[in-house]
Chain A
Amino acid sequence: MTTTDIESGTATPPLGEELLAVKGLKKHFPIRQGLLQRQTGAVQAVDGLDFTVTRGETLSLVGESGCGKTTTGRLLTRLLEPTDGTIVFEGRDISHLSDGRMRPLRKDVQMIFQDPYGSLNPRHTVGKIVGAPFKLQHVKTPNGTKKAVQELLELVGLSPEHYNRYPHEFSGGQRQRIGIARTLALRPKLIVADEPVSALDVSIQAQVVNLLEDLQDEFDLTYVMIAHDLSVVRHVSDRVAVMYLGKIVEIADRVSLYESPMHPYTLALLSAVPIPDTKGKGGRERIRLTGDVPSPINPPPACRFHTRCWKAQEICKTVEPPLLELAPGHQTACHFPENQPGGEAPRVGTARSVNTARPVEAPRTEARTDTARPVDTPPAE
């Protein structure tokens, strides 16, 4: 086995270069039924994602439960094997690498888990937990593993004396720090953080968010952050991808996504977040979606959001909108995007697709449960 000296570090390529490229990524979980366990369907958890992650940036994947963001994270770290599509990490296709071939790469791609209780072995000491990556990857550290672990503990704001303690002796926030120390042990290039702060109290959450930012500055880390809390995402991200039912509906840099969202779903998502002040009470313009996210086993055809979208037209039910760059660095998959640059009316069917349907008044025919309504109208009875 080869051993590497982590302190010396290989020459890191400059920031801003593409670290990860994902093309057409799909993950379908088969549903098997009957005596012969024939496949009768599939949960289309992730259904065709394209995006890239540049070195040193934070890309956040946001969306509601069931949109496939966690599955995407697990695909990127290759805890799951994709059904289709490619994942290229540092120029190398890792989509279907075997466990054995993947193992050396685990040094470079690490994960922070959501649940600080479930992700630490209760029967191992903190020293053993944080030291495990060194052991598994046969990495020798200059002053021994114990010293390296203690340095890591200090780095994440714990005390070196915690080395011999067990996870149950720590609070949730401290446990999350232990998990982060383990993640950092081998100085990974890419960290996939799956809801790293959502299980924590507000005051502790802010501590961990700041810690993640400090560590990124110090070690030039690249984060793929998976989160549902749009306020936290605004605070930590450089770019944000909004997912709905296994697809990216919008991806843009933070500022343009939050200031001028184009996809109706993004708009609805942003306006649904309650704001902690008294100014907006009742006065803010809100879009209320009705109904729930449809099942990923049988997602709606074409644009998957059309069942809940207030702008939906015939074309949305028949032609899937491609993810197009409508403003620099701002991609949206919608036939009738909002906030178009130049403020012009939605250009239907020009560059995009076949059916040239004029955007007339939204048909009120199915104003039952599955169309959105503005906030101040009474619920559809």
Chain B
Amino acid sequence: MTENNDAFLQVRDLRVHFPTDDGIVKSVDGLTFSLDRGKTLGIVGESGSGKSVTSLSIMGLHKAGTARISGEVLLDGQDLISSSREEVRLLRGKRMAMIFQDPLSAMHPYYTVGTQIIEAYRVHNKVTKAVARKHAIEMLDRVGIPQPDKRVDAYPHEFSGGMRQRAMIAMALSCDPDLLIADEPTTALDVTVQAQILDLIRDLQNEFNSAVIIITHDLGVVAELADDIQVMYAGRAIEYGSAEDIFDRPQHPYTWGLLGSMPRIDQERTERLMPIKGTPPSLINVPPGCAFHPRCNYARLNGGASETEVPQLLDIGDGHRVACHLSPEQRKHAWETDIKPKL
């Protein structure tokens, strides 16, 4: 596997397990990836695939809980997993920041939007309140909130959904973080507002040259923003590649399933949708071997390897990695005859 040892963010063999009464929930089970400044990584998967847990553990937000975390997360060379909570707290907000799905619950209803941005800014910068307030107004203006000098004193409930999301982005970006994690940033929003927010994230990234991780279940959103895409299933990455790799020559049957499940807005329908059979597995009882094999139409082709052996994420050229027991010829054949013509 090609390793980029100078990358700004490096995640190596990250595991996040939650012990419960029923057994260990393996939310993330061996994840390795890296991300450079100025680049956007899209993490795609369905509910329970471990995409949010990954981001929360990078941010150190699982440290206080019951999670058992192992592996390495190197942010500019500093390992966040072995750092103390206090050390990670100093980085959070300053060097890495997060945008959450639901801005109403991510903001405190009791304080004005301005107060919350000012607080975040003053934790990391020794400035007076007046200076911080000026900065907050600038940030609100930057994310496109009209009349920022008045809106800075409004409460979160006085904002619409799209404006709240903008305000949260303003808060996240107030200290110029080098890494921005956006966890389903537009899922709660209407399409026209979603388009505005995606534009905003893209513009701000160009401006600040930050590394962005965007977590979503919507392949359209990653197609719009991401340079690289990681597809996750049951706590593991099953495919990783550039946006072109994933959309134009996807290799994993699960990726095919996702593409086949999505109705397209830009094409008149010809074929029925091709859903993935069954339902995602429980993370307590992940199927042995390839976790996807009970739902995979091609698992039989492999003489039982899929049922017993966990496939490794292997490079098949140019950084496109896939974790599948099928041979390249089998995959090529299946994609070109079964899947591609029906998309």
B contact residues around A290 at 8 Å (CB): 144, 196
B contact residues around A271 at 8 Å (CB): 195
Interface residues of A in 194-243 (CB under 8 A from B): 201-207, 209-210, 213, 228, 230-232, 234-236
A contact residues around B163 at 8 Å (CB): 292
Q: Is A98 an interface residue (CB 8 A)?
A: no
Tell me how far the C-beta of A169 lies from the nearest C-beta in chain B, rounded to whole angstroms: 12
Q: Is B274 an interface residue (CB 8 A)?
A: yes
Inter-subunit contact A276/B219 (CB<8 Å):
yes
Given known A-B contacts A204-B275, A206-B275, A292-B163, A231 and B262 have beta carbons under 8 A apart = yes
Inter-subunit contact A232/B191 (CB<8 Å):
no
Q: Is A268 an interface residue (CB 8 A)?
A: yes
Interface residues of B in 27-80 (CB under 8 A from A): 46-47
Looking across the interface, which residue of chain B has its beta carbon closest to that of A214?
B272
Given known A-B contacts A288-B196, A375-B199, A381-B141, A276 and B260 have beta carbons under 8 A apart = no
Looking across the interface, which residue of chain A has its beta carbon closest to that of B216?
A274
Inter-subunit contact B220/A275 (CB<8 Å):
yes
Q: Is A270 an interface residue (CB 8 A)?
A: yes
Give 1 or 0 for each of A352-381: 1 = CB within 8 Å of chain B CB.
Answer: 000000000000000011000001001101
Interface residues of B in 259-278 (CB under 8 A from A): 259-266, 268-269, 272-277
Task: Give A369 to B258 CA distance when docked, in angstroms.
Answer: 37
Task: Give A259 to B221 CA distance when docked, in angstroms.
Answer: 22
Tell me how far the C-beta of A5 lies from the nearest C-beta in chain B, rounded to whole angstroms: 33
Inter-subunit contact A65/B190 (CB<8 Å):
yes
Inter-subunit contact B160/A276 (CB<8 Å):
no
A contact residues around B259 at 8 Å (CB): 276
Inter-subunit contact A272/B221 (CB<8 Å):
no
Q: Is A147 an interface residue (CB 8 A)?
A: no
Tell me how far the C-beta of B192 lies from the nearest C-beta in chain A, rounded to whole angstroms: 5
Tell me how far the C-beta of B39 lies from the nearest C-beta in chain A, rounded to whole angstroms: 15
Inter-subunit contact A278/B264 (CB<8 Å):
no
Looking across the interface, which residue of chain A has its beta carbon closest to that of B268?
A255
Given known A-B contacts A209-B273, A276-B247, A270 and B265 have beta carbons under 8 A apart = yes
Q: Is B198 an interface residue (CB 8 A)?
A: yes
Q: How extensive is the interface on chain A, given as a class?
A: 35 or more
Task: Give A292 to B274 CA distance when docked, in angstroms.
Answer: 35
Given known A-B contacts A202-B46, A368-B146, A234 and B265 have beta carbons under 8 A apart = yes
Q: Is B217 an interface residue (CB 8 A)?
A: yes
B contact residues around A201 at 8 Å (CB): 46-47, 217, 280
Task: Give A173 to B222 CA distance when docked, in angstroms.
Answer: 24
- Pick the residue among B46, B160, B223, B268 that contacts A274 (CB under 8 A): B223
Task: Give A206 to B277 CA distance when docked, in angstroms.
Answer: 10
Given known A-B contacts A210-B272, A274-B198, A228 and B190 have beta carbons under 8 A apart = yes
Q: How extensive is the interface on chain B, given as a class?
A: 35 or more
Q: Is A121 an interface residue (CB 8 A)?
A: no
B contact residues around A369 at 8 Å (CB): 146
Task: Give A64 to B196 CA distance when docked, in angstroms.
Answer: 14
Q: Is A339 an interface residue (CB 8 A)?
A: no
A contact residues around B275 at 8 Å (CB): 203-207, 209-210
Inter-subunit contact A174/B279 (CB<8 Å):
yes
Q: Is A112 an interface residue (CB 8 A)?
A: no
Inter-subunit contact B280/A278 (CB<8 Å):
no
Residue in A274, A275, A281, A292 with the greatest tally of chain B CB atoms within 10 Å? A274
Inter-subunit contact B257/A203 (CB<8 Å):
yes
Interface residues of B in 156-204 (CB under 8 A from A): 160-163, 190-196, 198-199, 203
Inter-subunit contact B223/A277 (CB<8 Å):
yes
B contact residues around A379 at 8 Å (CB): 144, 203
Residue in A210, A258, A291 with the greatest tally of chain B CB atoms within 10 Å? A291
A contact residues around B195 at 8 Å (CB): 271-272, 274, 286, 288-289
B-side residues, CB < 8 A to A, are 46-47, 141, 144, 146, 160-163, 190-196, 198-199, 203, 217-224, 243-244, 247-248, 257-266, 268-269, 272-277, 279-280
A-side residues, CB < 8 A to B, are 64-65, 171, 173-174, 201-207, 209-210, 213, 228, 230-232, 234-236, 255, 258-259, 268-278, 280-281, 286, 288-293, 368-369, 375, 378-379, 381
4 A-B pairs with the lowest CB-CB distances in the bound complex, closest first: A274-B220, A206-B275, A235-B263, A206-B261
Task: Please name 20 further chain A to chain B contacts, defined as beta carbons within 8 Å, in addition to the given A65-B161, A210-B275, A274-B220, sorted by A numbering.
Answer: A201-B217, A203-B275, A204-B275, A206-B261, A206-B263, A207-B275, A207-B277, A209-B273, A210-B273, A230-B191, A234-B265, A235-B269, A272-B195, A273-B191, A273-B265, A276-B218, A286-B195, A288-B196, A288-B199, A292-B193
